[in-house]
Amino acid sequence: MGDKRFNRRNFFKIVGAAGVATGTAALLPKDAIFAKSRKEGKGGLSQEVRPGELDDYYGFWSGGHSGEVRVIGVPSMREISRIPVFNTDVASGWGITNESKALLRGRAGGDTHHVHGSYKDGVYDGKYLFVNDKLNNRMARIRIDYMEVDAIVDVPNIQGAHGLFPQRYPRTEWVVLNSEFQTPVPNDASNKKAFDNPQEYYGMHTIIDAEKMEIVCQVMLDENCDLAATDYQGKYSMTTSYNIEKGVTISEMLASDYDYMLVFHWGRIKKALAAGKYRKVNGVKVLEGRKGRSDIVLRIPVPKNPHGINISPDGKYAVCCGKVSPTVTVVELDRIDLAYAGKIKPEECIVAQPYVGLGPLHTTFDGRGNAITSLFIDSTNVKWNIAKAIEAEKKGKEAKKENPHIVDVLDIHYQVGHIMATMAETREADGKWLVSLNKVSKDRYLNVGPLKPENDQLIDISGEKLRLVHDSPAYIEPHDCIMVRRDLIESKVKHRYEMFDHPLAVTKSGVERKGKKVTIRMTANAPVYGLQEARVKKGDEVTLIVTNHDEIVDLSNGVAISNYNINFVIAPYQTKSVTFTADRPGVHWIYCTNFCHALHLEMRMRLIVEV
């Protein structure tokens, strides 16, 4: 322990390298775990957002295990809102109201990883956000105008719904969603012979209609699929894949020295669908994409167990991160058609494989020809120049030896996963800010017990050097984000609901009974509900429908029913409903939970359940 280089950071590198080294020792340079980062440079941006000023970007963060999407202002890094998606959120009533239950269909729990916006001509159009649920294999669509989920589609024949990406050009008609876990197809009792034979487990690349929120088709693969991307021409979707071995243990999944970047040819997919070249599995059209059986899928070999795949803003290159290789792979997209036509080999689409460091996971871009890659084991963000990497590749090993493509290296705290720069997944990447979503915050915040926060770090990328500006604690596990210019979003967001968008909007309060079913319709104007009392009988099925008639745009009312575990909020002109069984005789107060008026505490009514 006398070596001064053995500090906390290098401890992480040693442990991480040891974990990866199984079957990959030759990939780790001897001096890599003690490689020093370059000194931080000076950037020119200020993070300050003064009182009364607004952030320049909407940040949309996935909520990980919480199942939500978070709205973060950038560069302030203030959490502005949370959009419940696959979770129960008592504050808003998501997962409690009839409207949200109809979308969730009995599954209020999820694992969101990737949130992406809809596009027009390669730039966000401010219409939708899409986010996956890796836990329950579904995808949600969020209307940006209301910042609220309006549709959820369940995806059969898959497990581990992970990588997701919308079509970028000419507009988002399709969204692709990958299955990371290979399973039997179909995965039910009719195919029980496959349960114990992993060679009969398959992955799926699912295409979803963005407007109808219906599944267009699935492409069946030998491999699993990890992260997803689409090009800027509307021709291809792409994914990294690993476990071509079809292993079920970690050692089996690491046996091969390479895996694939998979490319899916949308023209050929449409042609196969039109020709009826598919079979139906659980009601979904499944196309053949297994190796040697289809011309839909192009397999480009890349170093083993790749993870991230990202497209440069100029649309020229796909960058795959090696994960257990210290390199990234640069694929020139213009060569892909040549490979499909058989004029070049798939591997000839690769134009560079530069060294970046240990544990590359994800890459983002500054719009000035530079890429920035996250290194999990090194705990760094590495800025490198794409053109210099390609030029060095052309010149050979000697030219690559000094790593001329490396522009800067920034230490982060610690073990970074995703990184994202402002507007970097569009044609208009502006190279201003980057967020590094780090898994370990180690000593950066007050101790809050055994479950520590993660650490999102804001980095100024406007200069040549990467400059760390701000730390923000993050509740488990935000995973990924996008940052969208304010002008693309703000004008699309409504200040108030359209009252009659909801078919049950209440204009007149009252109680209606049909047998054992009772409907209570009620208006809300702070500080008064439209009813002061409602009477029902024990065992009645009660549906309570409430519409907020307040005109002030930020005057929300709450509705909570004592002892019935019902609590939701209604924004101005919004309508929500709940259905429950009146099984507790007595007087139960319905009260407002949102401080709406000087007489807020008096805003209540009695629900009397008679025997």
User: Is the bond leading into 303 cis (omega within 30 degrees of zero)?
Assistant: no
Which pair of structure tokens corresponds to residue 237?
């979707």
CA–CA distances in Å: residue 99 to residues 502, 503, 519, 570: 10, 11, 16, 12
CA 266 – CA 33 distance, rounded (Å): 42
- Decide if 259 contacts 253 (C-beta within 8 A): no
Write out pLDDT tens, residues 155-177: 999 999 999 999 999 999 999 99
Kindly indicate the confidence band of residue 22, based on its pLDDT and cuts at 50, 70 and 90: very low
The mean pLDDT value of the chain amounts to 92
- The percent of residues in the chain predicted with pLDDT above 90, rounded, is 89
The pLDDT of 554-564, averaged and rounded, is 94
- Give the whole-angstrom CA distance, residue 363 versus residue 485: 20
3-state secondary structure of 340: helix
% of the chain beyond a pLDDT of 70: 93
282 secondary structure, DSSP code = T
* Nearest alpha carbon to residue 576 among 595, 552, 593, 598: 593
Backbone φ and ψ of 82, nearest 5°: -130, 135
Cα distance between residue 546 and residue 523, in whole Å: 6
What pLDDT score was predicted for residue 316? 98
Beta pairing partners, 455: 438, 473
Q: Is the pLDDT of residue 604 over 80?
A: yes
Which run of H or of E encompasses 388?
helix 386-395
Residue-level pLDDT at 485: 98
Looking at residues 92-108, what average pLDDT do you find?
96
Q: Give the position of tokens 């060294």.
A: 355
Which residues have C-beta within 8 Å of that of residue 53, sequence separation ≥ 6? none
1: pLDDT strictly greater than 50: no
Q: How far apart are CA 220 and CA 473, in angstroms?
A: 40
Contact residues for 191 (Cβ-Cβ < 8 A; gap 6+): 184, 185
Which residues are registered as beta bridge partners of 471? 457
pLDDT of residue 6: 45
Q: Look at 416-420, 430-434, 541-545, 593-597 and tell me which has the smallest mean pLDDT.
A: 593-597
Q: Cα separation of 90 and 194, whole Å?
A: 42
pLDDT tens for residues 269-296?
999 999 999 999 999 999 999 999 999 9
Question: What is the pLDDT, as a whole number, of residue 478?
Answer: 86
Question: Structure tokens of 186?
Answer: 């179909």
Eight-class DSSP state of 233 = S
Tell me: pLDDT of 468 over 50. yes
Report the pLDDT value the prediction gives residue 401, as an integer from 0 to 100: 87
Average pLDDT for residues 40-53, to the nearest whole number?
81
CA atoms within 13 A on the CB side of 425: 30
DSSP secondary-structure letter at 382? E
User: Alpha-carbon distance 556 to 453, whole Å?
Assistant: 31
Contact (CB, 8 A) for 459 and 436: yes
Average pLDDT over residues 263-268: 98
Strand intervals (E) in 333-466:
350-352, 360-365, 370-375, 380-385, 406-411, 416-421, 433-438, 454-460
Query: Which region holds residue 499: left if phi is over 0, alpha if psi is between -120 and 50, else beta?
Result: alpha
Helix (H, G, I), strand (E, B) or coil at 310: strand
Question: For residues 272 and 266, what is the distance between their CA atoms, to the nearest angstrom?
Answer: 10
pLDDT score recorded for residue 39: 39
Q: CATH second-level architecture of 499-610? A: Sandwich (2.60)
Q: How many helices (H) and strands (E) does the chain have?
A: 8, 40
pLDDT per position as a tens digit, 493-548: 999 999 999 999 999 999 999 999 999 999 999 999 999 999 999 999 999 999 99
Residue in the block written with tokens 């990588």: 163
Q: Distance between CA 557 and CA 571 in Å, rounded?
A: 7
What is the chain's length? 611
Mean pLDDT of 453-474: 96
- Retrieve residue 247's tokens: 């292993």
Distance CA 589, CA 603 (A): 10
CB atoms within 10 A of CB 553: 12
Judge contact between 469 and 104, C-beta under 8 A. Answer: no
Mean local confidence (pLDDT), 439-462: 94
pLDDT computed for residue 294 by the predictor: 92
CA pair distance 362, 63, nearest whole angstrom: 18
Structure tokens at 60: 């949309």
Q: Are strands 78-84 and 533-537 parallel, antiparallel or unpaired?
A: unpaired
What is the value of pTM for the model shown?
0.93
Rounded average pLDDT over 334-359: 97
What separation, in Å, do the N-terminal and C-terminal C-alpha atoms of the chain show?
Answer: 76
Give residue 13's pLDDT. Answer: 56
